[in-house]
Every structure is written in structure tokens, then in C-alpha cells.
């Protein structure tokens, strides 16, 4: 009589891909992240100095200011309300709350902390680089009526935009990595990738930043996110749908 095979454990299937490995030991990881953060700070400072000292006069600055003036001249009550929601998507309190919730959900879903720490690293590093850049590059807010209270930080770069790119971009990439490129995950990722656009436009509309500030925020958040993923998730693992397909293929000969 053939030995009965134990059914696959549900918790093992639920755990998803095997635990990924970073690009080297902890010293290599620390060196890459710290060195990358310093390099990113230097790049953004050069960009900021160029914008605030070289392009401070001329057609580029006129176009930069013209976009802010256009938004200020076309404000309506409806869009004032809509952009409050758009800007709040990347408020400090919102970003912290989303980070905590996503980290706990990943811990519950995968039964490990690794992917949760990726989200934390994406947000913590973005915040540190942002404060370092604003402490170095001093740019006043646009000379228009602002709809929000201006924080004491510089207008360059847009911290809301960089936080939105780092946070929602990180979640989108993790969703694609964990669940593959199914239609549902692609739609989810597209929605998440669009949120930074909403945040950036909202900050422009409300008179809080120049377009170059928003562009710098996208650059900072995007480059930091690339560094985090290439360091902590250098190779794509086996996703949940692929595991399910593999199990079905393995079971098909027995059915026949």
C-alpha cells in the first residue's frame, strides 16, 4: 500500500516567495545605502544650486513661475477641496500611518519582516535625504497666495512628492514582485504609481512649490527607491501565482 503523502501546508503556501537576499552582507548593504544617500544628496544639491543661482533669472525661471501663476489664477472651490485630499496623501502623518499599516500587513501575510523593512528603509532614507537637501539649498516658496501653511523647510525639493514616489512606488513594486504581473496587480500598481502625480499637481495648484521643486522631488524619491530595491531586493524571487502554477503542473500527471 503506497504511503500517504501529507497535504501541502497552507501556511507555507500563504508565506509566498522564499525570503530574498540582499546584495551582500550587512556591511555591503550599509555601505551601498549610506553611500548612495550621500551621493543622492550631492546630486540634489547641485541641481538645487543650479536652479537657485543659475536659472534664477531668464526664460526657465519665467516658465517655472508661470505654471504656478496659472494654477493660482484658475482655482475653484471644487479643486481647492480635491487638492487638499491629493496633498494629504503624502502628509507626514499619512505617510507614517501608511508605512506602519503596510509593514504590519506584509509581516502578517509573509510571516517575516524582510519586505516590511524594505518599506521602512524606503521612507526613512527618503526623509533623511530630504532634510539634508533642504538644510543645504534654501529656496523661498513661490510668490503666490498659498492655500496651506508653509513649513519651515525650503521649497526645494518637494518633500510631499518625493515621499509619495518612495512610499507608493515601493508598495507598487512589492505588489508586482509578490503577486506577479496579473491584471489585478497591474491595475493596482498603475493606481499606486499615479498617486505621486496627484500629489505633485496638488502641491503646484496650492502654490507650495515650483514645477522644478516637484521634478526634484520625483528625482530624489525615484533614485532612492531604485537604490533600495537594487540593494535589498536585487533578484526577483518566485511569486505566488508562479508557485500556484507549479503546483498545478506537478499535480496534473497524477490526475491523468
In this predicted structure, the answer to whether residue 122 has a pLDDT above a threshold of 90 is: yes
In this predicted structure, the answer to whether residue 24 has a pLDDT above a threshold of 60 is: yes
Interaxial angle between packed helices 183-205 and 59-73, expressed in degrees from 0 to 180 and rounded to the nearest 10: 100
Is-contact 155 207, C-beta < 8 A? no
Considering only CA atoms, give the Rg of the chain: 22
Q: What is the pLDDT of residues 174-192, one digit of tens each?
A: 999 988 888 999 999 999 9
In this predicted structure, the answer to whether residue 10 has a pLDDT above a threshold of 90 is: no
Q: Given this model, what pLDDT does residue 98 score? A: 97
Q: How far, in Å, CA of 231 to CA of 23, rounded?
A: 5
In this predicted structure, the answer to whether residue 245 has a pLDDT above a threshold of 50 is: no
Q: How far, in Å, CA of 141 to CA of 206, rounded?
A: 11
Q: Given this model, what pLDDT does residue 21 score? A: 82
Amino acid at each position: 500500500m503506497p504511503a500517504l503523502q501529507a497535504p501541502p501546508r497552507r501556511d507555507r503556501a500563504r508565506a509566498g516567495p522564499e525570503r530574498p537576499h540582499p546584495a551582500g552582507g550587512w556591511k555591503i548593504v550599509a555601505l551601498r545605502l549610506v553611500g548612495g544617500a550621500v551621493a543622492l544628496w550631492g546630486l540634489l544639491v547641485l541641481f538645487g544650486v543650479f536652479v537657485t543661482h543659475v536659472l534664477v533669472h531668464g526664460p526657465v525661471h519665467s516658465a517655472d513661475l508661470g505654471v504656478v501663476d496659472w494654477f493660482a489664477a484658475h482655482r475653484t472651490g471644487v479643486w481647492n477641496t480635491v487638492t487638499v485630499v491629493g496633498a494629504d496623501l503624502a502628509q507626514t502623518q499619512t505617510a507614517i500611518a501608511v508605512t506602519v499599516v503596510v509593514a504590519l500587513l506584509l509581516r502578517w501575510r509573509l510571516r517575516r519582516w524582510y519586505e516590511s523593512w524594505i518599506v521602512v528603509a524606503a521612507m526613512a532614507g527618503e526623509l533623511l535625504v530630504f532634510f539634508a537637501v533642504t538644510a543645504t539649498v534654501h529656496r523661498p516658496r513661490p510668490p503666490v497666495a498659498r492655500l496651506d501653511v508653509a513649513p519651515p523647510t525650503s521649497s526645494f525639493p518637494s518633500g510631499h512628492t518625493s515621499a509619495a514616489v518612495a512610499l507608493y512606488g515601493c508598495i507598487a513594486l512589492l505588489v508586482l514582485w509578490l503577486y506577479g504581473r496579473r491584471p489585478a496587480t497591474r491595475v493596482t500598481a498603475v493606481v499606486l504609481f499615479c498617486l505621486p502625480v496627484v500629489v505633485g499637481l496638488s502641491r503646484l495648484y496650492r502654490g507650495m512649490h515650483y514645477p522644478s521643486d516637484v521634478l526634484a522631488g520625483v528625482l530624489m524619491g525615484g533614485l532612492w527607491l531604485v537604490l533600495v530595491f537594487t540593494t535589498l531586493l536585487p533578484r526577483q524571487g518566485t511569486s505566488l501565482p508562479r508557485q500556484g502554477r507549479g503546483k498545478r503542473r506537478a499535480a496534473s500527471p497524477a490526475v491523468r
